Amino acid sequence: MNEAVTTPVEKTPRVLVWIGRLMALPVAFLFGMSAVMKFKGGPEFSEGMAKLGLPESMIVPLAILELVCLVLYLVPWTAVLGAILLTGYLGGAICTHWRVEDSFVIQVGLGIFLWLGLYLRDRRLWQLIPFRSLTE
């Protein structure tokens, strides 16, 4: 019988785990505040949604989706799934801003920061996305 060969995953250095966790804080803050602002609403928010061409009926579902994805990202066992879902969420935001010729630099930067923080926290990603050393 053919048994799958598994290689043990090395333990991530503690300093990198903590740097990754610290990088997750601004990500959590920005997504959390964005969801809270969607729940809070207000005339300025409604104007912004209208400028982006989005109906007000999408505000609460977007806030719920954003919070669910954020919670999945912050829980260690589901962090990769959360990062994938948040990346999709950011992709929609980028497309929406691009369509109305708004800047989307913040969304791109947030996505990079999100994945870099997770990459530093989770050694399993090092096997999926290997970087070569300068001496190779």
CB atoms under 10 Å from CB of 31, counted, come to: 23
Residue 134 resides in a domain: no
Q: What is the pLDDT of residue 41?
A: 87
Q: What is the pLDDT of residue 3?
A: 58
Give whole-number Cα distances, 104 to 53, 55, 91, 98, in Å: 16, 20, 10, 7
Encoded amino acid at 35, one letter: A
Q: What are phi and psi of 25, to 5 degrees?
A: -60, -50
Would 35 be classed as within a structural domain? yes
Question: Helix/strand/coil (H, E, C) string of 51-92?
Answer: HHCCCHHHHHHHHHHHHHHHHHHHCHHHHHHHHHHHHHHHHH
Residue 106 lies in a domain: yes
Q: Are 52 and 100 in contact (CB under 8 A)?
A: yes
Cβ contact 36:70 at 8 Å: no
Instruction: Give the pLDDT confidence score for residue 4 in this predicted structure.
Output: 56
Confidence (pLDDT) at 102: 92
First to last CA, the chain: 37
**What is the chain's pLDDT, residue by residue, as a tens digit (136 residues)?**
555 555 555 677 788 889 989 999 999 999 999 999 999 988 888 888 899 999 989 999 999 999 999 999 999 999 999 999 999 999 999 999 999 999 999 999 999 999 999 998 887 887 777 776 656 5
Q: How many domains does the chain have?
A: 1
Answer whether 0.75 is exceeded by the pTM: yes
Residue 1 belongs to a domain: no
Do residues 23 and 117 lie in contact, with contact meaning Cβ atoms separated by under 8 Å?
yes
82 lies in which domain range? 14-124
Structural domain includes residue 104: yes
Evaluate whether residue 7 is within a structural domain. Answer: no
